[in-house]
Amino acid sequence: MLPSITDQVILITGGASGIGLATAHLLLKHGAWLALCDISKESTEKFFSELDESQKKRVITGVVDIADRSAVTAFLHLAKETFGKVNGIASIAGTAGRKLGHQEIWEIDTAEYDFVMDVNVRGAFNILSEAMRPGFLEPGASIVHTASMFAERGFAKGSIYSASKHATVGLVKSAALEAGKHGSRVNLVLP
């Protein structure tokens, strides 16, 4: 077991598939307690149903659209009320959009722009702004946000996705400056 993870309460967004799902399994393996949310009810239910009974006692799940601030707030508070604390957040939820790699910038409509920006930028903002309220996270807590290698470069036929990931870099860097004053950490990974 990793002593830094054992008995820690970690909230994971986008936890029912991909990187989030792999993170959830790794954290459970090392003794963490999880509050896992995802926008997909089916994937979230599948994740929970496949856990063994001892793991189910250490996990709560929820269907959450991270672009909805009230839903984020409610799930964060549910996690803290259930477990008594939140030691960290793995902010993994995001979207590539519905048409990534298929449209040049002049072909992208407002609905696609709003969808990608709402999930990737507003979602990151909602998580950071609600979790970093004084007294919510445990002292020394850590928030890790997942962006993309396209947070550092352009993406032909992926301009909105790239722009959204660039925006999250600014949010996370700014939040990191603020978190340090309160004894917490905010980091960014770019897979």
Gap between the Cα atoms of 142 and 119, Å rounded = 21
pLDDT for 115-151, tens place per residue? Answer: 999 999 999 999 999 999 998 999 889 999 999 888 8
Cβ neighbours of residue 5 under 8 Å, at least 6 residues apart? 27, 30, 31, 32
> What integer is the mean pLDDT of 147-162?
86
CATH number, domain of 106, equals 3.40.50.720
* Structural domain contains residue 136: yes
Residue with tokens 């909602």: 126
Nearest CA among 120, 123, 126, 129 for reference residue 175:
129
Q: What is the per-residue pLDDT for 185?
A: 87
Q: Is 161 a catalytic residue?
A: yes
Q: What confidence tier does 173 reach under pLDDT thresholds 50, 70, 90?
A: very high
* Structural domain contains residue 1: no
* Structural domain contains residue 104: yes
* Structural domain contains residue 2: no
Q: What is the per-residue pLDDT for 180?
A: 79
* Structural domain contains residue 33: yes
* Structural domain contains residue 105: yes
**Segments forming the whole domain that contains residue 111:** 9-189
* Structural domain contains residue 29: yes
pLDDT for 51-102, tens place per residue? Answer: 999 999 999 999 999 999 999 999 999 999 999 999 999 999 989 888 877 8
* Structural domain contains residue 3: no
Hey, how many other C-beta atoms are within 10 angstroms of the C-beta on 140? 11
Residue 2 has pLDDT above 60, yes or no: no
Number of domains in the chain: 1
To the question of pTM greater than 0.85 for the whole model, the response is: yes
- Active-site residue (options: 21, 67, 161, 163): 161
Q: What is the per-residue pLDDT for 115?
A: 95
